[in-house]
Amino acid sequence: MPTILDSAAAASDEIPEVRRIGTGDLNWALREGWKDFLAKRGDLIVIGLVYPIICLIAAVVTLNDPLLPLFFPLVAGLSIAGPAAASGFYELARRREEKRDSSWWHFLDPLNGRSRVPLAMLTAGLAALFIGWLVVAYAIYAVTFGAEAPMQVGDLLGRLFTTREGWELIILGNLAGLAFAIVTLVFALVSFPMVVDKPVDAGVAVRTSLAAVRKNPAVVFGWGLRVAALLLLGTIPFAVGLAVVLPWLGYSTWHLYTKLVVR
């Protein structure tokens, strides 16, 4: 016979209701995210955190020939960490929505409160995806170019765009990157903002994210295309635009979550 504790545990595992949304909701989320960005600009935080990481990766890779093939996968894979890094922006957007104090002191609140453990678990999941992406990317390089083919930057670029193996590497690498991007989107679309918003565990948050994608596959695909386009735009020139794009997408993802999940 079920006890009260069993009933409470079962209730805690239930996911919230997920709405069906449309393309207009994506545009609304981006507009609201832009308003948040204008009110609480995050470009200085991005400049202070992201650019040193990119410069460190570039320095390590360019000074170590065997790591050169991983330069692009490392930089491209930073987007996998985006949902975790954006947790502070979710918190600021939530506080602004509730008309509460949204000063920058609250940016790290998710790391200090009830969200800490589920955020850590979700971030571990993203870390596993990131490592998996690097392994697959290097395997593709080894199959197309040969594992024991260290070279200088000029040699690599020359072979990449002027040989059949180079184009195979480009095509296979982009297909693999697309697969990892889709998995990351499905895994993180709702889960990260949800654990910032609600006292839920990581498992419930991930299942809610899966439910949201199942209910809105075309719309979520459209969101993924918007995110990819904005990230690409932000890298031109020299990734300067990412200082605006990353916080904007962080705020916008929060608003998309509020449309997808009944709170």
Please report whether residue 199 resides in a domain.
Answer: yes
Q: What whole-number percentage of the chain has pLDDT above 70?
A: 81
For residue 117, the SS3 value is helix
CA distance 71 to 244: 23
Predicted local distance difference test score (pLDDT) of residue 48: 53
CA distance 216 to 222: 10
Please report whether residue 157 resides in a domain.
Answer: yes
Could you report the per-residue pLDDT of 98-128, keeping only the tens digit for each? 989 888 788 888 988 888 999 999 999 999 9
Residue 133 · residue 73 · CB < 8 Å = yes
Please report whether residue 232 resides in a domain.
Answer: yes
Please report whether residue 142 resides in a domain.
Answer: yes
Question: Can you give the residue range of the structural domain that contains 119?
Answer: 19-260
Is 207 exposed, middle or buried (CB count within 10 Å of its CB: 0-12, 13-18, 19+)? middle
- Tally of CB atoms within 10 A around 162: 10
Please report whether residue 8 resides in a domain.
Answer: no
Q: Is the bond leading into 237 cis (omega within 30 degrees of zero)?
A: yes
Could you report the per-residue pLDDT of 198-215, keeping only the tens digit for each? 999 999 999 999 999 999
Please report whether residue 158 resides in a domain.
Answer: yes
Going by C-alpha positions, the residue among 232, 198, 228 that lies closest to residue 17 is 198
Mean pLDDT of the 1-11 span: 40
Residue 14 DSSP one-character state:
P
Write down the mean pLDDT value for the chain: 84
Predicted local distance difference test score (pLDDT) of residue 55: 62
Q: How far is CA 212 from CA 89, 225, 238, in A?
A: 21, 17, 35
Please report whether residue 249 resides in a domain.
Answer: yes
Could you report the per-residue pLDDT of 234-261, keeping only the tens digit for each? 877 666 777 788 889 999 999 999 999 9
Could you report the per-residue pLDDT of 159-196, keeping only the tens digit for each? 888 889 889 999 999 999 999 999 999 999 999 999 99
CA distance 30 to 50: 22
Domain count, the chain: 1
What is the residue type of 103? S
CA distance 140 to 138: 5
Predicted local distance difference test score (pLDDT) of residue 149: 59
Question: Which segment of 36-40, 78-82, 146-150, 225-229 scores lowest on mean pLDDT?
Answer: 146-150
Q: Give 156's pLDDT tier (boundaries 50, 70, 90).
A: confident
Please report whether residue 5 resides in a domain.
Answer: no
